[in-house]
Amino acid sequence: MRKAIAAPLARQLRCLRRRPPVGSVRAFSTVLVPDPPKAPLPDVPASLKRYVVSAPVEKDGKLVVEVTSPEGGKEEHDKAVWDLTWRTEREKEAHLLKQQMVQEAMSKADEEKAAELMKGHPGMIRVTSMEDYEFFLYKRPELLVCFFTASFSLWSKILAPRMEEMAKTYPKHIFLSIDTDACPRAAYHADVDDVPTVVVMKNDDGYRVKVTPENRCEFESIIARAKAAIDGFVEPSTGVASKMAWLNHNISVDNLNLKRINWPTQ
């Protein structure tokens, strides 16, 4: 009788030992991550294509090959060392080719995303996520005019048609309409603490002018100051000194950028 009861209990205990505890890494299902594109290995490394290699010959107990350089010089090399050099060159070229393929894939993805997001251009483009905001901020060369709004703000709704008209007046620039409720991190990044607010920027904080209403009903003043900020933008020259002067960093913005790429800020 005892054996009949003990056997099922022993089986249950063995099953419990095999089962990973809840909360452990093994308790979760495996997430499959797609492999990066594989770069084909070149048959002959480009850097060694013009070298002529003879058949291996045994000399002093080891295999050697005679390598003729493009200039006509001949040298003997240990076949094992030459094969290692050959493989290293092939792998290096394959790595560079893979990097090029990844870069082309990323550029194509950026172009597709830009085509999708820029459907409303020229005009106001609605931004509802930090990902889209950072795409315009870091990957687009145009001057950004960001109109920060909120669904509860009556003044934002009154000012929106005027901003739409201004967006069509400046087709070379990108006008973004950003809801601070849907994308609060964008408001934090641009140092926006009230709505409606217009921020004109280029290259993150390389050029940044924030326009806030002094009085709630001064819509003409906001539009005029925003236009002045747009017209006052001047592309920097290519000199080293001008590049240094172009950088006008803000500590909170820098810390946010460091956190975005997982760098420590303390």
Give the model's pLDDT for residue 73.
75
Tell me which long-range contacts 258-264 makes (C-beta under 8 A, separation of at least 24).
260/134
Which domains does the chain show, CATH number per domain? 46-106 (no CATH), 119-236 (3.40.30.10)
pTM over 0.75: no
- pLDDT tens across 2-55, in order? 555 555 555 555 554 454 444 444 443 444 444 555 655 555 566 666 667 777
Between the ranges 56-65, 151-160, 230-239, where is the mean pLDDT highest?
151-160
Question: Among 8-12, 115-119, 184-188, which is the least confidently predicted range?
Answer: 8-12
Neighbours of 201 (CB within 10 A): 21
> Got the DSSP string for 68-93?
E-TTS-EEEEEHHHHHHHHHHHHHHH
- pLDDT tens across 89-114, in order? 777 777 777 777 777 777 777 677 77
E-state strands within 84-188 = 124-127, 144-149, 174-179
Residue pointed to by tokens 């408001």:
187
Which residues share a beta bridge with 202? 207
DSSP state of 44: S
One-letter amino acid identity for 232?
A: G
3-state SS assignment for residue 58: strand
Is residue 201 within 8 A of residue 189, CB to CB? The reply is: no
DSSP state of 28: S
Is residue 208 within 8 A of residue 252, CB to CB? The reply is: no
- pLDDT tens across 149-183, in order? 998 888 889 899 999 999 989 988 989 999 999 99
